[in-house]
Amino acid sequence: MTLIKVISMIELEVRIPDSPGALIKLIEPISENSGNIHGIVHSHKDSINGNIPVLIRFEFLTEEKKANLEKIKKRLQNLNFQIMKITDTPAAHHMTVILSGHVFRQDFEETVRRINNIGVKVRDVEAKITTPDDISNVRINIEIPDEIDDIVVFKGLEAICEEKKLMMLREEIF
């Protein structure tokens, strides 16, 4: 079995006609040029002059990223799709942890800063709290660049939890 390494993640913001088949026409050049689509968000209610905004996120599984991205851009321009923005980010994966204890008494903003200083990004937070004196449970979704080992992230989180006397529930590493 061959291991395929994700080279980069692309976020493409584009405006397409609000007509049947337009979304398919947007997707085709991406898949034809080694793009693996992760998600699409589009909104008919945000239509401007008959065009709707679309955010499409895809990864490249090839070293030919630059050439393939140019082919995609050219094809979209030929279709008269308005490219608003293209963002190229390093490939990443997500991890969810739950911190339990007096999370907010321990300066939660500083906790988030320290987590981000590990080299990851806190992407989403959900908290369950009844009163400030009660123990709270905080679910944190963390985005980890693929070049950072999950073990490094866990060790950093464990150090923060030990110092702040928090308990962490986490995914199991194999």
Measured CA to CA in angstroms, residue 6 lies from 90, 141, 145, 152 at distances of 9, 21, 11, 20
Structural domains of the chain sorted by starting position, each given as residue range(s) with its CATH number in brackets: 8-90 (3.30.70.260), 92-169 (3.30.70.260)
141 and 152 in contact (C-beta within 8 Å)?
A: no
Measured CA to CA in angstroms, residue 38 lies from 34, 51, 57 at distances of 13, 22, 5
pTM of the complete model beyond 0.85 = no
Q: What is the pLDDT of residues 110-155, one digit of tens each?
A: 999 999 999 999 989 999 888 877 899 999 999 898 889 999 999 9
Whole-angstrom distance, CA of residue 154 vs CA of residue 148: 11
